Amino acid sequence: MKIANKDGFRWGQKAFLIGHELGLICVSYGDCEQDAIDYAVDEGYMDSEKMSDEDYLEYTSNGWDDSYITAGNASEAFWCEYLWIKPASARKEVTA
């Protein structure tokens, strides 16, 4: 399992599970969902969801802004159609 925050957990932060249609990408801590996504992007764990520059230009020019998000310190564009995030406390327990 990948953990996005190399500094570890800070008091008051929550753990979030971030994934897409193929499963879990990583666990990331943050004050809110956006912070957790930003940490995951900055650590490079979301690179599989990164939009190409050509796609970004096409989608912004056509007003299809619901298909992507901007995240990370560089505010890069990432696909969000299959992206999901939820608190780690909402995970399901699996029994063997």
Q: Is the dihedral of CA 84, 89, 90, 95 positive or negative?
A: positive
pLDDT tens, residue by residue, 41-61: 999 999 999 999 999 999 999
Residue 12 pLDDT: 75
Residue 69's CB is within 10 A of a number of other CB atoms, namely 20
Low-confidence ranges of the chain (pLDDT < 70): 1, 8-10, 91-96
What are the domain boundaries of the chain?
14-90
Instruction: Residue 22: name the closest of 79, 65, 67, 95 by CA.
Output: 79
Looking at 5-96, which runs of residues are DSSP E strands?
14-20, 23-30, 68-71, 76-79, 84-87
Residue 92 pLDDT: 65
Residue 90 pLDDT: 73
